[in-house]
Structure 1
Amino acid sequence: MKTWIRWAVINGLPGVVLRAQARRGNPLAQYLTDPAAREDPYPFGDRIRARGRLVAIPYSYVTADYELCRTVLRHKDFGVTPPEAFTVFKPVQRLIKATDLKIASPVEPPAMLMVDPPVHTRYRKLVAQAFTPRAVARLRDRISEVTTDLLDDLAQHENADLIEQFALLLPIAIISEILGIPAEKRDDLLDAGHAGSPLLDIGISWKTFRTANDALREAQDYLVEHIAELRANPGDNILSDLATGGELTDTELLYSAALIAGAGFETTVNLIGNGIMALHQHPEQLDLLRAEPARWPGAVEEILRYDSPVQMTARTALRDIEIAGVRIAKGEMVALLLGCANRDPKMFDNPNVFDVTRANAREHLSFSSGVHACLGASLARMEGAVALQALYDRFPNLRVADAPQRRGLLNLRGFQHIPVSTGVGARVAAG
């Protein structure tokens, strides 16, 4: 009953309200509820920008303006938005707090994503050691080794699914090693991450909510055991350092582990999958990359800009503030459509064109900005560049063989399946 009540106040009731608001022309509600946004969110961003830089809607604001999104993300007077902030009704807020399921979710406090400085500063300082440029550079050889092994396996198949057999497996292998999680537990981590991903959307079904929380609870039970084992027998990994350092409480440590585990592969899977489809749809860009392979890192930035793995976030005013000529009261929320902001023509020329030579592609907001900028951005960039270049070098005749299937999520934008022909059979026959 407690789980159902929590779903009802976080998703069920907001879903009803959003659908009603969408019918009344609320642009954010239309974006959040229209199935077309899951296929192509970017026209919704164009419509919102046409209404102004900062659009007032009931109880909050929304923007798809690049400069304004970046300003809010970096502004000290805006903080993260916990679940209870999505309603202005105090009784509902109290009910949300009263139905805390005590599950280590990466999208609820005290996860690092959902706390502000100075608490966030303390978490980030401890976790950042695993993602410094030097630490990430040391992982390059391992990323290349795992990529080669996966491509060796793909070479045994004329037909394959590049999500299940490649894009998923590379980042989960790397983040598992960073956390000291053994190979035999990776599938469980994958299942938990996939099941928990819909929690970043608003208005999800009761069945999806229950499944997500059941999966996160199972993952939490494992992480508690895993952390205890690392305390007794530490290894060379970030979770061992955090577990034995004594600077995080047990709850903080558990939530940090859940966040690193989930964020460490979900967005990278989407980056690789979205990149495969962008290159499939723009073969002339792939030809350019084959002719000039030094452009691959820049291509990854353009993939991130063109089809962001994370589409939106929100910030709440910590005090009364005026921004873009609008007075925002303390406690009011601003929804930031990051993926749509990456298509803002005031920032990016011809923003709907996929161009791997784009000079300012790296200015995208796909890794957020400010104090909450993604810690694993350097790792994701490296994994994306290594994986995509190696894939197309190894399989020059690779082609998408059937209709790809999207995940059906709004915020974490990516693919569930990308069926391909590797071209292996043709090459063998020719040989």
Structure 2
Amino acid sequence: MLVGTAVRWGTKHGFMRAGIKAAARQGDEQARFFDDPAVRADPYAFYRQVREAGRVVRGRLMWATAHHDLAAAVLRHDAFGVGFTDRPLPAPIALAFRFSRRSSPIGPVDPPSMLVTDPPDHTRYRRLVSKVFTARAIEGLRPRIEQTCAELLRDKPTDLVADFAALLPVTVIAEILGVPLDMRRQFLAWGNAAAPTLDLGLPFSTYRRTERNIRHVNDWMRGHFARLRKEPGDDLLSQLVQLDDLSEDELLATAGLLLAAGFETTVNLLGTGAWLLMRHPEQLAVLRDEPQRWGNAVEETLRFDSPVQVTARVCRRATEFGGEAIQPGHVVMAMLGGANRDPAVFADPDTFDVTRANAREHLSFSGGVHYCLGAALARLEGEIGLRMLFERYPDLRPDGTPTRRTTRVLRGFETLPVTM
């Protein structure tokens, strides 16, 4: 098993890690995003440099854009897709990859996950689950979300991430999927350990740890499917396991992605939103005077410090994009965090302003056919969670130094100590 893990790491991350290191040594700006700790700590000056360098900028490894219009366009352009595993590889690497996949666990960036699947398969998977995430269905969850918030806020939080921001979304998505609530902390631990797989060029030790945790999720899910086939409930997974439309691997990928995506983004949204409001009391005062703006405060949080910083698309046919000729197999990275601070769209973009009229024009939920399925749920949890948090603890403030997550694609807090 260790040999297979090593081969998978090599094909997924090892060669890319070597390429990133080499490109960074040669001054490649895009490689800095994945290699420079200073960029991870504060990526926004870096995005500004990329945006000023050109409309779409070519690096040694990929193209990149931090312009709002081009980032939005690449997410919707039919010449681009997410099928990165379909890219041609040198024969020895392709052979090793096919061999290693025989015993590979299925994670969020492994086929047949919706994250890395293009239509028509993506359309089929999404159609099966989208009815649960309609605006009407999500709004119907409002009383349960409010109840969950009230229960979590009965005790004063000392670490806002561990005590509140993580528990709210994982509780809600667990109920939607029929996952026992006593498993929620275990899934948080597994999800946090697997989150780095969204990044490029992981060190072997990190990749091995993420794969081990993904395997635990896979094993638990398979047992859960068996239980639901015998004793189905009213939840989404009970409905999916009864269908003949999904293979076991497709069911596993869909369930795992929905569970992880159901809390990974929202925990970052809640933690970041709380941090920003504690650091900007004048904005919190606006919300207390005008509580109808809480929804817009969530949009501004998503714009100002996006939970998902970048996403990428691979070119499927030769096309002109941003004035450049992009060839099949070339990758374009859409820097969502940078696009969300494009001064061509957002006035005074580095200012956090809960009254911003066009805050909702952010790209934090991606776009096109891969627009975030759970966007409405994340927005509702963010609005209710932040409002009830500051209503319950109006003098909430930081207590000590928070720690950021070490991931590059996902941005948020690992810990956020607070006091009253």
Q: Given the two structures, how large is their TM-score scaled by the length of structure 2? A: 0.96
Gaps of 5+ in 2: none
**AA paired with 1:2?**
G
| Whole-angstrom CA distance in 2 between matches of 1:88 and 1:220 | 28
Superposition pairs for residues 3-82 of structure 1, below 5 Å? 3-82=5-84
- Checking the alignment, whether the CA contact within 8 Å between 2:178 and 2:235 is kept in structure 1 is yes
| Whole-angstrom CA distance in 2 between matches of 1:238 and 1:230 | 11
**AA paired with 1:137?**
E
| Whole-angstrom CA distance in 1 between matches of 2:144 and 2:329 | 45
Q: Deviation digits for residues 100-156 of structure 1, max 9, x if unmatched?
A: 2431211111001111111111111101011011110111111000000000122xx
CA 172–275 in structure 1, closer or farther in 2 if over 3 Å, else same? same
- The residue aligned with 2:242 is 244
**AA paired with 2:402?**
P
**AA paired with 2:154?**
D
- The residue aligned with 1:2 is 4
The 3-state SS of whatever aligns with 1:288 is helix
Offset at 1:81? Answer: 4.4
Offset at 1:52? Answer: 0.3
Q: Deviation digits for residues 300-342 of structure 1, max 9, x if unmatched?
A: 0000000000011110111111111111111211111111111
Q: What RMSD in Å do the two structures reach over aligned CA positions?
A: 1.4
The 3-state SS of whatever aligns with 2:38 is helix
**AA paired with 2:184?**
R
Among 212, 216, 222, the residue aligned to 2:220 = 222
| Whole-angstrom CA distance in 2 between matches of 1:192 and 1:84 | 28
| Whole-angstrom CA distance in 2 between matches of 1:354 and 1:20 | 37
Offset at 1:59? Answer: 4.6
Gaps of 5+ in 1: 424-431
The 3-state SS of whatever aligns with 1:314 is strand
Among 386, 410, 413, the residue aligned to 2:411 = 413
| Whole-angstrom CA distance in 1 between matches of 2:61 and 2:214 | 31
- The residue aligned with 1:310 is 308
How many residue pairs get aligned? The number is 417
**AA paired with 1:11?**
H
**AA paired with 1:24?**
Q
- The residue aligned with 1:95 is 96
Identity of aligned residues (%): 47
| Whole-angstrom CA distance in 2 between matches of 1:50 and 1:184 | 49
Q: Deviation digits for residues 141-199 of structure 1, max 9, x if unmatched?
A: 11000000000122xx6xx0000000010000001001101111112211110110011
Offset at 1:257? Answer: 0.3
Q: Which moved more, 1:197-206 or 1:267-276?
A: 197-206
Superposition pairs for residues 127-138 of structure 1, below 5 Å? 127-138=129-140
The 3-state SS of whatever aligns with 2:394 is coil
- Checking the alignment, whether the CA contact within 8 Å between 1:10 and 1:83 is kept in structure 2 is no
**AA paired with 1:28?**
Q
- Checking the alignment, whether the CA contact within 8 Å between 2:278 and 2:396 is kept in structure 1 is no
Q: Deviation digits for residues 240-266 of structure 1, max 9, x if unmatched?
A: 111112211111111000000110000
- Checking the alignment, whether the CA contact within 8 Å between 2:273 and 2:298 is kept in structure 1 is yes
Q: Given the two structures, how large is their TM-score scaled by the length of structure 1? A: 0.94
Among 338, 341, 355, the residue aligned to 1:340 = 338
| Whole-angstrom CA distance in 2 between matches of 1:212 and 1:25 | 30
- Checking the alignment, whether the CA contact within 8 Å between 1:80 and 1:314 is kept in structure 2 is yes
Superposition pairs for residues 159-174 of structure 1, below 5 Å? 160-174=158-172
